Structure 1
Amino acid sequence: MSFNALYTDLSGYYDLMCEDIDYPAQSDAVRRLHQIFGNGGNAHLDLACGTGPHVRHFIDHGYLSSGLDINQPMLDIAATRCPEAHFTCQDMGSFQVNDPQDLITCFLYSIHYSDGIEKLKACIASVHNALKRGGVFCFNAVDKDKIDNDLFVKHTAKKADDLFTFRSGWYYSGSGDKQALKLSIEKTNTCDTQVWNDEHPMVAVSFTELITLLEPYFEVHVFEHNFEAITPWNNISGNAIFVCVKI
């Protein structure tokens, strides 16, 4: 299996893999945050948009939404799901927009796809350049110092006669600015079982480091990773939602 095969050859499994994600709850939470901290505009860009489920929800609530991703097969699915939206195949570390945005989102910890601190810095600068003054950058992140390498999430899903088991977990060596997202898909039917394993290089950053990177560009607000209530970060938990207002 090629290094990035899960997001290319097996991109058709992506929505099934994410079947247990509550996209409406995530989108609604970010819309509430945007109403509180934003500039009142509705131009929205979703970074690492994948197959476009978040974009769909923002469009349905009156936003002029667009998306970008580095993977064209994902964008092909997104374009079918959201024919009203404009999608581009770009790297979120060096993207450009035709029109300034009021809200830029990056869900599902995808900010970590900036592989290394320098690429993360470039992503933050690109977001700043793409936003209007008073625009909001909202994303979730994980603190490298709080990662438990033994933890993983798992869920199963049925499709036709196949049973799929999906697993994912973070791995951090304990030093440096690189961590990994480890993923696996197990497909079982009456004939056989197939397993695909994949590992994605990710940027490793503590929340203290991340806030330091953001503050030259934004007014930074950090909240608990809770899509049901807006609660300030307790300075302890290793998952958080960042709301960054362009200054």
Structure 2
Amino acid sequence: MSVNALYTDLSGYYDLMCVDIDYQAQSNAIRRLHQIFGNGGTAHLDLACGTGPHVRHFIDSGYASSGLDINQPMLDITAKRCPEALFTLQDMSTFDVSEPLDLITCFLYSIHYNDGIEKLTTCIASAHRALATDGVFCFNAVDKDKIDNGLSVKHTARQESDLFTFRSGWHYSGQGERQSLRLSIEKANADATQVWNDEHPMVAVSFEELTALLAPYFEVHVFEHNYETIIPWDNVSGNAIFVCVKR
């Protein structure tokens, strides 16, 4: 299967693949951070919104939310989940908005879908341009220097008579500005087993490099990748939440 084909062609499986994600806890944590660091506004945009579960939680909490994604089948599902929101087919590295925003989010490490430093820098500039005064850009990221290529996560989910097994893991060669997210879906039933494998090219960046890219545009705060408690990053762990306040 070609690069990103799994994401494009199997978008109907996306929610099942992410069934173990606590979207509400993630949304609540970012709303708490926005309350602490933000300007009090509620105009919100979710980058790489996928099928929209985070947007749904923000809307239900009183935000005027919208989303963008590069995949129309994903947006078709999102429009049904959040009919009151506006969703646009855009690349997050070069997106435009019609009105200033108070909060921009990017969940599930999707900031790395900017598959090079140049695109990541453009995305950061686009977010800065789109935000109102004291607006906040929140996302989670992984440090390239702390990736263990031998680690992966796995979970299973059942849909009717089919048993799905999902696996994902980061891979970094140890040099350069590209890493990848390796994904697989196994679909098994009494008749057959099918397996799809995919590899998504993504930007590789250390937290030191990422902070340097953000600093000209934002006041940067880094927290532990913990959606239950707000804890400053320990400068050791390889996953973190970035809270960036527009300068």
TM-score with structure 2 length normalisation?
Answer: 1.00
Q: What do the CA deviations read for 1:28-84 (whole angstroms, capped 9, x no partner)?
A: 000000000000000000000000000000000000000000000000000000001
Q: Indicate the residue corresponding to 1:116 in structure 2.
A: 116
Alignment of 1:67-86 (within 5 A): 67-86=67-86
Q: Indicate the residue corresponding to 2:103 in structure 1.
A: 103
TM-score with structure 1 length normalisation?
Answer: 1.00
**d(CA) in 2 for partners of 1:91, 1:4:** 14
**d(CA) in 1 for partners of 2:226, 2:103:** 20
**d(CA) in 1 for partners of 2:228, 2:115:** 30
Q: 1:2 Cα deviation (Å)?
A: 2.7
Q: Indicate the residue corresponding to 1:10 in structure 2.
A: 10
Q: Indicate the residue corresponding to 2:163 in structure 1.
A: 163
Query: Which runs of at least 4 in structure 1 moved beyond 2 Å after TM superposition?
Result: none
Q: What do the CA deviations read for 1:155-185 (whole angstroms, capped 9, x no partner)?
A: 0000000000000000000000000000000
Q: Indicate the residue corresponding to 2:230 in structure 1.
A: 230
RMSD across aligned positions (CA):
0.4
Paired residues, number: 247
Q: Indicate the residue corresponding to 1:150 in structure 2.
A: 150
SS class of match (2:9): coil
Q: Indicate the residue corresponding to 1:221 in structure 2.
A: 221
Q: Indicate the residue corresponding to 1:125 in structure 2.
A: 125
Q: 1:7 Cα deviation (Å)?
A: 1.4
The percent identity for this pair of structures is 79
- Structure 1 unaligned residues grouped into runs of 5+: none
**d(CA) in 1 for partners of 2:215, 2:111:** 16
Q: Indicate the residue corresponding to 1:179 in structure 2.
A: 179
Q: What do the CA deviations read for 1:109-133 (whole angstroms, capped 9, x no partner)?
A: 0000001000000000000000001
SS class of match (1:97): coil
Alignment of 1:18-37 (within 5 A): 18-37=18-37
Q: 1:10 Cα deviation (Å)?
A: 0.5
**d(CA) in 1 for partners of 2:72, 2:189:** 29
**d(CA) in 2 for partners of 1:3, 1:224:** 31
SS class of match (2:118): helix
